Chains A and B, each alone.
Chain A
């Protein structure tokens, strides 16, 4: 499967945003667990939200990356059809976000940095999800991750689907894999509502400015991780190596601050983020 990669920084292919989205949705693209297995040899998964149940769309746990213990929170879509069903195709329910909040609180207790690996088409839109407070839990998750007194590094692996992704993307540093995207709404949804024609999804993708380059231009993303040609689960190590280096570099910077200073800096960064160039 040919993955689309950029050749240089100056290309301006009109349909590049749509190619981006399609590449991000490719079947054999590495997911959170692939990264976790490549990054840590000793990952221990922590399950359940101690309230409603569990959610395989969000994986939480503890593991060492280059000798440093991290809390890792990942969104998993599943590879095989059984896995996909078990992970609800990467669409978390309130239990997933509550589990993630448990992990965040533990990270603070044990003074561990948090690594969020984001990959979701969006939070699940179901009856039970609404009944259990999907909106409320994302709002509370945002509050908690904003105020946690440890470094938070977030990486969008493939699909950054709106609020469901944002809950884990509020961070000290936000990175995006080269062919990932981060959008307020899917291009199809946007085309359907604003252009009254879901076949215009490629135009909507372009208009939404959802590519990593756009996000970097807007000052929302801090870095872009390059991908190897034909990027898949089988050659994840190159990107993982790049990611590891970036995480190490960022932690060096963030470790200089106390917990309170980190939070103050995070607040300043977000409040000063105007989001346009």
Chain B
């Protein structure tokens, strides 16, 4: 006698399939942690405090006053100006993985009650690389800040210029510089927060042009990548080379701020300007 009817129509099964939980591995302590748990804990390792990279939308939640963020340029996406091989596939992947159209989210919001422009780069989108649209979203936001007389805060997280957009990516270094210059001429405050990693053409342009430059602890910040430098000098790199702490010692940044204190720090700076 059969105990179970094996011919039950499984398509009528109403039990929803549970989404497979995603785990992240901490680079510091090697422990595996539930991704949702990490990102609900300020994107920090619950065991050792290692700072994971923060998705742009999560960062905005951490920094902006609740319900005040109004996004600008949400639909802007790369036009693949060079028709670079395999670039469209990489873009599709990045869009699917992040839910974003580009490696930066821009808008206006309040922080501690102060109105400001806020741009947050997302290193999960093609390593936060800067192409035509990242540059354009920044210049558009700077234009809004100029019109509305707002300060501008940019959270930087980038592997540098986006290779697949070639010279068009490099051009964004000039364009963002001009946008920042216009804010300077208008006497508007510009603050950058350097997060892990901030490198290449982003470092050599708008990231290091802040009136005030903050950084997260141990963030990798530099112009050339550490591997390239090691290959060039054919020697070991100094301890803590290209970390936020190293840059502070060399006089390149103003302050290292713990992730949990960034909101208050920014509110404080805004209150002083």
- Residues of chain A touching chain B, judged by Cβ–Cβ distance below 8 Å, are 123-127, 129-136, 138-140, 142-143, 146-147, 162-163, 166-167, 170, 182-185, 190, 193-194, 207-210, 214-215, 218, 220, 266-267, 270-271, 273-276
Residues of A within 8 A of B222 (CB): 130, 135
Residues of B within 8 A of A142 (CB): 173-174, 177, 204-205
Known A-B contacts A127-B238, A143-B181; the reply to A270 vs B174 at CB < 8 A is yes
Q: Are A146 and B204 in contact (CB under 8 A)?
A: no
Q: Are A267 and B181 in contact (CB under 8 A)?
A: yes
Interface residues of B in 148-202 (CB under 8 A from A): 161, 163-171, 173-175, 177-182, 184, 200-201
A126, A193, A208 — most chain B CB neighbours (10 Å) = A208
Known A-B contacts A136-B208, A163-B173; the reply to A275 vs B167 at CB < 8 A is yes
Q: Are B201 and A162 in contact (CB under 8 A)?
A: yes
A124, A127, A133, A274 — most chain B CB neighbours (10 Å) = A127
**Contact among A136, A190, A209, A266 for B252, CB-based, below 8 A:** A136
B79, B163, B179, B242 — most chain A CB neighbours (10 Å) = B163
Asked if B229 CB lies within 8 Å of chain A CBs, one says yes
Residues of A within 8 A of B238 (CB): 127
B200, B204, B242, B251 — most chain A CB neighbours (10 Å) = B204
- Residues of chain B touching chain A, judged by Cβ–Cβ distance below 8 Å, are 79, 81-82, 84-86, 132, 139, 161, 163-171, 173-175, 177-182, 184, 200-201, 203-209, 222-224, 228-229, 232-233, 235, 237-238, 241-242, 250-252
Q: Are A218 and B167 in contact (CB under 8 A)?
A: yes
Q: Are A135 and B161 in contact (CB under 8 A)?
A: no
Known A-B contacts A130-B229, A134-B224, A142-B205; the reply to A276 vs B168 at CB < 8 A is yes
- Name 15 A/B residue pairs within 8 A (Cβ), A-sorted: A130-B241, A133-B250, A133-B252, A136-B203, A136-B252, A138-B223, A139-B206, A139-B209, A142-B173, A163-B170, A184-B161, A210-B166, A218-B81, A267-B182, A271-B175
Q: Are A275 and B233 in contact (CB under 8 A)?
A: no
The CA of A183 and the CA of B222, in the complex, are separated in Å by 20
In the assembled complex, the CB of B166 is this many whole angstroms from the nearest CB of chain A, namely: 5
The CA of A170 and the CA of B180, in the complex, are separated in Å by 15
Known A-B contacts A130-B229, A166-B170, A184-B167; the reply to A267 vs B178 at CB < 8 A is yes
Residues of A within 8 A of B203 (CB): 135-136, 139
Q: Are B82 and A209 in contact (CB under 8 A)?
A: yes
Q: Are B223 and A143 in contact (CB under 8 A)?
A: no
The CA of A146 and the CA of B235, in the complex, are separated in Å by 37
Q: Are B241 and A127 in contact (CB under 8 A)?
A: yes
The CA of A127 and the CA of B166, in the complex, are separated in Å by 26
**Contact among B85, B169, B178, B182 for A184, CB-based, below 8 A:** B169
Q: Are B82 and A125 in contact (CB under 8 A)?
A: no
**Contact among B165, B167, B205 for A220, CB-based, below 8 A:** B167
Residue on A with the closest CB to B159?
A193
Residues of B within 8 A of A135 (CB): 203-204, 207-208, 222-223
Residues of B within 8 A of A166 (CB): 170, 173-174
Q: Are B174 and A218 in contact (CB under 8 A)?
A: no
Residues of A within 8 A of B180 (CB): 143
In the assembled complex, the CB of B237 is this many whole angstroms from the nearest CB of chain A, namely: 7
Q: Are B166 and A184 in contact (CB under 8 A)?
A: yes
Residue on B with the closest CB to A169?
B174
Residues of B within 8 A of A146 (CB): 174, 177-178, 181
Residue on A with the closest CB to B204?
A138
In the assembled complex, the CB of A44 is this many whole angstroms from the nearest CB of chain B, namely: 30
In the assembled complex, the CB of A263 is this many whole angstroms from the nearest CB of chain B, namely: 9
The CA of A274 and the CA of B132, in the complex, are separated in Å by 8
Q: Are A140 and B178 in contact (CB under 8 A)?
A: no
Known A-B contacts A126-B229, A135-B208; the reply to A170 vs B167 at CB < 8 A is no
Residues of A within 8 A of B181 (CB): 143, 146-147, 267
The CA of A172 and the CA of B173, in the complex, are separated in Å by 16
In the assembled complex, the CB of B174 is this many whole angstroms from the nearest CB of chain A, namely: 5
Residues of A within 8 A of B171 (CB): 220, 270, 273, 275
The CA of A218 and the CA of B81, in the complex, are separated in Å by 9
Of all A-B residue pairs in the complex, the 3 with the closest CB atoms, nearest first, are A135-B223, A125-B224, A135-B203
The CA of A170 and the CA of B165, in the complex, are separated in Å by 18
In the assembled complex, the CB of B221 is this many whole angstroms from the nearest CB of chain A, namely: 8
Q: Are A207 and B179 in contact (CB under 8 A)?
A: no
The CA of A129 and the CA of B203, in the complex, are separated in Å by 14
Q: Are B208 and A276 in contact (CB under 8 A)?
A: no
Residues of B within 8 A of A207 (CB): 82, 84-85, 166
Residues of A within 8 A of B241 (CB): 127, 130
Residue on A with the closest CB to B226?
A130
Residues of B within 8 A of A194 (CB): 86, 163-164
Residues of A within 8 A of B235 (CB): 127
Q: Are B174 and A139 in contact (CB under 8 A)?
A: no
Q: Are A162 and B223 in contact (CB under 8 A)?
A: no
Q: Are B82 and A130 in contact (CB under 8 A)?
A: no
